Structure 1
Amino acid sequence: MSCCAPNAERVLCVEATLPTPDELSLAARPLGDGSRQLELSVPGVHCAACIGTVEKALLRLDHVTSARVNLSTKRVTIQWQGPDLPPIVQSLASLGYVPHLFSPDNGRDQVLSELIQAVAISGFAAANIMLLSVSVWSGAEGSTRDLFHWISALIAIPALIFAGRIYYRSAWNALRHGRMNMDVPIAVGITLAYAMSLYETVVHGPHAYFDASVSLLFFLLIGRTLDHVMRERARSAVTGLARLAPRGALLLEADGRHSYRPVEDIVAGSRLLIAAGERIPVDVVVEAGHSDIDASIATGESAPHPIGVGEELRAGVLNLTGPLTVRAVRPASDSFLAEMTRLMEAAEGGRGRYRRLAERVSSLYAPVVHLTALLTLLGWIAMTGDWHRATTIAIAVLIITCPCALGLAVPIVQVVAARRLFEQGVMMRDGAALERLVEVDTVAFDKTGTLTRGTLQVSNAETLDRDAVSVASALAAYSRHPAAQAITGLRRAGEVQVENVEEIPGYGIEARINGKTWRLGRGSWAAPESGIEGTLLAEQGVVKAVFEFSDTLRPEAETTVSELARLGMNVEMLSGDTVDKCASVAGQLGIRHVLAGLLPAQKIARIAELSSQGRKVLMVGDGLNDAPALAAASVSMAPATAADIGRNAADFVFLHNGLSAVTLAISVAKKADRLVRQNIALAVVYNFVAVPIAISGYVTPLIAAVAMSASSLLVIANALRLTGWKSSVAWAGRNERGEALA
């Protein structure tokens, strides 16, 4: 097995049509600060050496500020400053990494199909050659032995051509562009084993290794196939998420005609018809129709809830009961579903200290292993004079020293951790954030929208006159103010006929009811003589009801804070709200350290102060004013309801209402950290033990192939333990009713 991916060079072996500058400009997304971002498919990327080559080449281009390769998805993300497109495509193509714009997945795993075919061919050839070898081992000599050797040589040829092409393609593409990768020594080892056996056959030698050559290829391909299957299993969260996106939608043309269009053709402003049972293709606003929807993908709540005109729906939401006419508010590439997919893929591509260490070691692989094999060859020839045995041992060294286990040690854990978090409603933007999260000893919460829902509720509803509540609800229905929306939700005693409604910005709502003037809003405006500054309802200046509001705590907020304290975390509240309101919430949750009335710069200053004390801060916030603090903290988290800039600044985004996502993420990060350490230890121990044994001549090429595959599979299997691991956080992944979300 190796870290290199099969089926990649097939794209490079033919004359490919490169994306045009216009296509690239359309595919690029503005980031809002003068920067632009482009994502390209680069199927030629195989291993750590490929990653380093691509990223270094792109970072040398003018105006390019960031270049990150995701090995799992074979994609590269490039960011640059300014409107002009750097020569990205030309730079990649000159290195042999032909880039492509993304194309829709056809649902078939072509890599797995080719691997299975290669395993079948090499396995069939190996079985037949082994049968012929039995006669040679049993004592066949002379012309009989030569005949069996020639038949074995003929059987091995199609196996090397059809099954070995996976390695030959990869090795040739690297060599012709002046590079090395992990498939070069494997291709060299297979070829040398066959060539040495063919030489022995021509000179009527007693030994030939056709069985070892083909069996070596067979075991390498088995390991690679299992590697591919396990990687895809670990990445099933991303692929499953992508499948939720519809391929197209019924577009309502300006002339009234209907036409089915691919989702890529939908632009902001397009009007769509969504039938019952269909998923929403892009983020939309309902223009006509009423229905029940399943919004579990966005909120974690699987219970259907009704929606109507004016409500915004996110891509991926399932329309359950009735047809809807909707208007797209953004294209598919910028939808909620696309953002979640990008978050998952970014989580796999992140590189922290562990991954950078593994990649640096892996990048030294090619020169070190070839030098080791050469020295082994020369050393054994010098000691024994037996070039035949020396070549066999050198081939075994070439194969057994592949650092695939080390290359897989970190990224496979990050992929599995990203899937584990996604299943519990937490999106990870950067795999390196897991490493930083392990070091966190201080958690700073924003108040409004984070510790609380950020939605007001009437706290004194039970004491209010029901007739007054009916009037207030009827007036409040004409406003989108948070206080008005809270009043609208109160139970009415009956319907009220309202006329001449007018909303006065900053003051409230005025209307005529039964010939009298009613006002709902600020006390100094609705009833100036009352002296009340809060929100009230007045008839002709006479107070009829005074409304008191409170913000509701997020589900599991109290339990989450107490669990963080149990873990030894320092918990603080950093809020821009008033001292009284912050103190009230802090008292309910048991938070002792509270800083109220903070501006964004003051939140950053507090995080900087904590950092100067040697503390590692996790910032949890949701508002526009929290974005700078989220970016300044060691690691950050935001709810899906946060402002766009807040979500973009956060390392983790949680989709559910509950705050248990904080403790869940910390638990997963600590478990992942232990698995990474174990994987690195396994990879290092394997190389320290296997390489000296191979150099000593105690390992055949066949055993080397089995050992290399086994080491990689062991690392992957260890990482997959995280899939079945149960968090110690008993309430993680539950909604406010205590129901399991995953």
Structure 2
Amino acid sequence: MSKIKCNHCHLEYDDDIMIKDGNLHFCCKGCQGVYHLLKSDGLDSFYDKLGNKTITPPIQADNDVEKFDTQSFEENFISVTNDGYKKIDLIIEGIHCAACVWLNEKVLFNTDGIIEANINFSTNKAKIVWDNEKINLSQIILKIRSIGYNAYAYDASIADEQASKAKRDFFIRMMVAVFATMNIMMLSVAKYTGFFTGIDEEIKNYIHIAEFIFSTPVLFYSGWIFFKGAYYGLKNRILNMDFLVISGASFSYIFSLYILFGGKGESYFDSVAMIITFVLVGKYLEVIGKKSAVDTLDKIKSSIPLEATIIEEGVKKVLPINSVKVGDIVELKAGEKASFDGKLISSSASFDESSLSGESLPIDKIKGEKIFSGTINNESVIRYEVEKTYKDSTLNSIVTLLEDSLSSKPKIEHKANEISKGFSLTILSLSIITFIVWYYFGIDLGFDYDGVNHFEKSFIVAISVIVIACPCALALATPIANLIGISELAKRGLLFKEAKFIETLATADTLVLDKTGTITKGKLKVKKAKILDNNIHKLNLLYSLIINSNHPISKSIKRYLQDNYTLQEKELFDIKTISAKGVIAKYRNIDGKKFNLIGGNIKLLKDNKINYKFDSENSIYLFAIDSKVIATFELEDELKDNAKETIFNINSMGINTVMLTGDNNKTASKVAKQLGIRNYVSDVNPIEKAQFIEDLKKHNRIVVMAGDGINDSVALAKSDVAIAMGNSADIALSVSDIVLLNNSLKSLEESFIISKRTYKFIKQNLLISLIYNAITIPLAIAGYVIPLVAALSMSLSSLLVVGNSMRIKLKNRGEINDCK
């Protein structure tokens, strides 16, 4: 019975079981359906990209897809973007090549309701963003299945388990190679000693056989990962480092087999084993280096509690953390870690927040204050109300940010990867040219070139060129340094959303700082208060107005009023927050009379045609009812610890510091003078702040902006790198690129120092790899390097890059001077 290829999957089947469709043949209705689907959607160029490769036939759609639309599945795996769309990470099964990635992305992009679909070919991980009003997840899964693939939710724990399994497999392969190579080395001692002292030909043959026995598992078992890497590289038309390693080892092995079976010359089974072993050991040490870089992430993950005790109608229940909802009351015993962000409902508590802020001293809290996930209850049993589920908690956000930053790539890494792709092809070409020149032009460096010996020498020189060249060091130069840099930053409470911001921060020349909550502690105290009309009813209206604002000034006045008066909240209407100015509202008394309430700065009063003169070096707050000023407040804020020293150190790095504030000029001038800041801009609203950032960028400045409030969010979004303090408003956090968990200006300084150190070591790594190749490749071409030494030096070059990157961790007393 003749075999016929299916027009879709390219698999061969007996002619009698094929479905005939005109001149087309399909192995099943699934393939037939997909073929016509691609034709009708104009995606039939997929088959040109697929070429002669085969793929898995479509999976028959079953009825298990309903689970993807359940509430529990959504809580565990689906998140919501800032635009209100749904987002999920999927693993797509059945992807074999770039054509498969192309097909899946094209089909998903052409599906109504899908906003984004990006698939990573190396991991098969797909990021899908969709509009749930137009399409649900189960329909997306069915769409993927309809074209011959399967998809399921990406689970980090499963991915970690697979990574651990892969690491164990790598270790076993390496140990097999090390064991075999050590035995080969002992045999080689006898062989090379006999070369100089004379050795019986029969004994020499026995040594060759023993070397063959030991080197074969090294090449085909331990070296399988290089065969696999080279195969997938070739499938995608890429000559990678794996191809260079395996081609050098394989050619040496084939030539040694020729010698073993009667050819003239020396065998190189020892070189085969050592090439694989040295590179394997080098790669394993790279894995260890990367592991140490992500230990911070592992420690955070391992410390996450899996269950929580909640109080429901007076009854205690233990629930999985993913089942706890906003509004639930959680009980926390002494020594336990909080899994959720919430509000303390017990009278007082003491928390260890060192895991987030690095602050070793316990933080005392009173009723109503915030509890952060990841912090530890120090003393008695307390209760708090959940304000954010675990999925949206501070702790989970840290884990997510770290995972994202560790997988992202800066511009310099993309450039290095592009260079390394062409590098392998260049080296292979050089190796072929070297062989031709040595063989046909009879280069003589003192060797006896007669027949086979001449071929042998030419062949070995060509192999040495392949083996000694190291695109691996070039490709490693950036990612290993970034991994260690991100890890060190995370240990200091600095969360980078993407690794690329290390490069931007390292090259930045301008730092723009908000004042309140960034330079100062944001805990203003009322220094002077003047109540012009001490009517308790009017003070009740002031109290009712300020509790509608989250601005630090309003919060401070609220505390002052609570400490000095017994007030009641009144019902207001038409409440409006005027950004960077204050709040206005209306009040209606029992007689139906309306009153206009205004609370804020001088600008707000002027906008409402109230002329009132008030001059002060401090922040001011004015309260007026129906155009009459009732109360004035002067507030003073403390500078953050080490603020002056930090600003001086940042300026010493060659970074121009600018303070940008909505406060009045006298207040801004006073703070700027205390800190030694020469450039400051005062009396600006959020739009003017953003415009100032844009103006700096128009003059080719690389701008870093640090802020903490809603009024900073537009300016943060306009900057090259946006830095938010850990206590920032949610909107400021959402547009930021870096989060300073401990709110310390010292951390801001450290972010510049570590970024600059990391970027410096990236450039050093690239220089090391380029110099290495520039020196060693000509030496190999000239015939001064044997494959054994080539393999060793290639591994050492990679280890040199890893070892140099580890220096990022070293503390240096002259760090600031190094950053100039």
TM-score, structure 1 normalization: 0.78
Displacement of 1:60 in angstroms is 10
2:170 alignment counterpart: 115
1:6-57 deviation digits (Å, cap 9, x = unpaired): xxxxxx99x9999979659833422212555444679999xxxx99997999
- Partners of 1:306 and 1:545 lie apart in 2 by 32
The change in CA–CA distance for 1:132 and 1:572 in structure 2 (over 3 A counts) is closer
Partners of 2:512 and 2:704 within 8 A in 1: yes
| Alignment of 1:693 onto 2:779 | yes
Is 1:458 the counterpart of 2:544 in the alignment?
Answer: no
1:561 and 2:650 matched:
no
Name the residue aligned to 2:228: 169
Distance 1:57 1:637, change over 3 A: farther
Q: For residues 103-502 of structure 1, what are the structure 2 equivalents within 5 Å?
A: 103=157, 105=160, 109-137=164-192, 138=194, 139-175=198-234, 180-203=239-262, 205-250=264-309, 256=315, 258-261=317-320, 263-287=321-345, 290-307=348-365, 309-384=367-442, 386-460=454-528, 486=556, 501-502=568-569
1:489-527 deviation digits (Å, cap 9, x = unpaired): 679999x9x6x944455799x9xxxxxxxxxx989xxxx
Q: CA deviation at 1:718?
A: 1.4
Q: 3-state DSSP class of the match of 2:705?
A: strand
Within the candidate set 642, 646, 649, 2:732 is matched to 646
The CA distance in 1 between the partners of 2:307 and 2:186, in whole Å, is 55
- In structure 2, the partner of 1:600 is 686
SS in 2 for 1:552: coil
Contact 2:141 2:151 survives alignment (8 Å): no
Structure 2 Cα separation of the partners of residues 245 and 574 of structure 1: 39
CA deviations 1:614-638 (Å, max 9, x no partner) are 3222211122222221122222322
Kept after mapping to 2: 8 A contact 1:347/1:430: yes
- Structure 1 residues 234 and 43: alpha-carbon distance in aligned structure 2, compared to 1, 3 A threshold: farther
Q: CA deviation at 1:307?
A: 3.6
Once residues 77 and 216 of structure 1 are traced to their aligned partners in structure 2, the CA distance between those partners, rounded to angstroms, is 36
1:454–1:274 Cα change, 3 Å: same
What residue in structure 1 maps to residue 765 of structure 2? 679
In 1, Cα distance between equivalents of 2:332 and 2:94: 40
Distance 1:387-1:127 versus aligned 2 partners, 3 A rule: same
Q: 1:382 to 1:95 in 2, by over 3 A?
A: farther
The residue identity in structure 1 corresponding to 2:394 is F
Give, in whole Å, the separation in 1 of the partners of 2:59 and 2:330. 36
Q: How does 1:26-105 map to 2 (within 5 A)?
A: 26=74, 27-39=77-89, 62=109, 78=127, 80=129, 82-83=131-132, 84=135, 100-103=154-157, 105=160
Alpha-carbon deviation of 1:154?
A: 1.9
Say yes or no: does 1:633 pair with 2:719: yes
Q: Secondary structure at the match of 1:555?
A: coil
The letter of the residue matching 1:709 is S
- Cα distance in 2 for partners of 1:353, 1:371 equals 28
After superposition, the Cα gap between the structure-2 partners of 1:327 and 1:223, relative to the gap in structure 1 and judged at 3 Å, is: same
Distance 1:329 1:205, change over 3 A: farther
Give the count of matched residue pairs: 682
Q: 2:245–2:275: 8 Å Cα contact kept in structure 1?
A: no
- Give the letter aligned to residue 150 of structure 1: I
CA distance in 1, matches of 2:151, 2:171: 25
Judged with a 3 Å threshold, the aligned counterparts in structure 2 of structure 1 residues 276 and 101 are, in CA distance, closer, same or farther, namely same
Amino acid at match of 1:561: I
The change in CA–CA distance for 1:608 and 1:548 in structure 2 (over 3 A counts) is closer
Name the structure 2 match of 1:735: none
Inter-CA distance 120–535: structure 2 relative to 1 (3 Å threshold): closer
Contiguous gaps of at least 5 residues in structure 1: 1-11, 511-520, 524-530, 538-542, 731-742
Give the letter aligned to residue 202 of structure 1. Answer: F
Match of 1:453, SS state, is coil
Which residue number in structure 2 is paired with residue 514 of structure 1? none
CA shift digits 1:523-570 (9 cap, x unpaired): 9xxxxxxx9999899xxxxx9998643233222333333334444543
Instruction: Mark the CA change 1:151 to 1:672 in structure 2 (over 3 Å): closer, same or farther.
Output: closer
> Deviations for 1:249-281, whole angstroms, at most 9, x for unmatched residues?
3455679463452x4444545554433222112
Paired letter, 2:502: L
CA contact 1:70–1:348 (8 Å) conserved in 2: no
| CA distance in structure 2 between the aligned counterparts of 1:354 and 1:32, rounded to whole angstroms | 29
Q: CA deviation at 1:403?
A: 0.7
8 Å contact kept, 2:461–2:780: yes
* Distance of 2:815 and 2:387 partners within structure 1: 38
Q: Following the alignment from structure 1 to structure 2, what is the Cα–Cα distance between the partners of residues 51 and 416?
A: 31
What are the Cα deviations for residues 389-412 of structure 1, in whole angstroms up to 9, with x where unaligned?
333333322222231111111222
State the identity as a percent.
26
Alpha-carbon shift at residue 294 of structure 1 (Å): 0.7
Q: Aligned partner of 1:313: which letter?
A: I
Distance 1:532 1:238 in 2: 55
Superposition RMSD in Å: 4.9
Q: Distance in 2 between matches of 1:70 and 1:596?
A: 50
Residue 480 of structure 2 aligns to a residue in which SS? Answer: helix
CA contact (8 A) 1:276 1:320 kept: yes
Shift of 1:289: 7.4
Distance 1:612 1:490, change over 3 A: closer
SS in 2 for 1:246: coil
Aligned letter for 1:610? L
Larger Rg: 2
Instruction: Give the corresponding residue for 1:734.
Output: none
3-state DSSP class of the match of 2:361?
Answer: coil
Structure-2 separation of matches of 1:20 and 1:379: 63
Instruction: Rate the CA distance shift 1:606–1:61 in 2: closer, same or farther, 3 A.
Output: farther
Moved more, 566-575 or 272-281: 566-575
Structure 1's 302 and 161: CA in aligned 2 closer, same or farther, altered over 3 A? same
Shift in CA distance, 340/309, structure 1 to aligned 2, threshold 3 Å: same
Separation in structure 2 between the aligned mates of residue 597 and residue 413 of structure 1, nearest angstrom: 42
- Partner SS for 1:303: coil
Stretches of structure 2 lacking an aligned partner (at least 5 in a row): 1-54, 443-450, 573-582, 588-597, 601-611, 615-619, 624-628
Inter-partner Cα distance in structure 2 for 1:36 and 1:383: 66
Aligned pair in 2 of structure 1 residues 546, 185: CA closer, same or farther (>3 Å)? closer
Query: Aligned partners of 2:482, 2:459: CA distance in 1, in Å?
Result: 39
Query: Which one-letter code corresponds to 1:281 in the other structure?
Result: S
Structure with greater contact order relative to length (CA < 8 Å, sep ≥ 6): 1
**After the TM superposition, which of the residue ranges 700-709 and 482-491 deviates more from structure 2?**
482-491
